[in-house]
Amino acid sequence: MEKFLTPEGFKKLKKELQHLKEVKRKDMAQRLKKSISYGDLSENSEYQEAKEAQGFLEGKIVELEELMTSAEIISPKKNSGVAQIGSTILVSSGLRKEKFRIVGAEEANPVEGKISADSPLGKAVLNQSSGAKVEIKTPDGKVLYKIIKVE
């Protein structure tokens, strides 16, 4: 499955990776060192927990490194008027208006107004222009959206 990131999303992940490597790894090393000082490692629950946490940390670092090397960085074409990854979209459904940015699944965060291009709404608006109407199937039935603006 292809993975996409916006330039902003790539920067955010790069910053997170740097924090994990430079800060969290050092914290983890201190935690391990402290737990080792408690003696017998075979019965040392703090040591076992620290080793497990270290494994999760290293797994997260590897995951971010792989994502950053394999993801395609997408910058929307300026003024294309067509919805694509990186575009900001204003839609209306009935009297309600919503503004969101289309991003890759790895960056999606609806609370921040970022929806995945793989989500039902993301798929429906991709490659559409202002004025287009799209229909989304939801558990409560179909919802009709009108694209007001694509930036």
DSSP string, the chain: ---EE-HHHHHHHHHHHHHIIIIIHHHHHHHHHHHHTTS-GGG-HHHHHHHHHHHHHHHHHHHHHHHHHHSEE--PPTT--B--TT-EEEEEETTEEEEEEEE-TTT-BGGGTEEETTSHHHHHHTT-BTT-EEEEEETTEEEEEEEEEE-
Q: Taking residues 12-22, what's their average pLDDT? A: 97
Domains assigned to the chain = 4-73 (1.10.287.180), 88-150 (3.10.50.30)
Q: Is residue 1 over pLDDT 70?
A: no
Q: Is residue 11 over pLDDT 90?
A: yes
Would you state the pLDDT for residue 141? 92
75-92 residue pLDDT tens: 877 767 899 999 999 999
Q: State the average pLDDT for the chain.
A: 92
* Whole-structure pTM value: 0.74
Q: Which residue has the higher pLDDT, 79 or 43?
A: 43
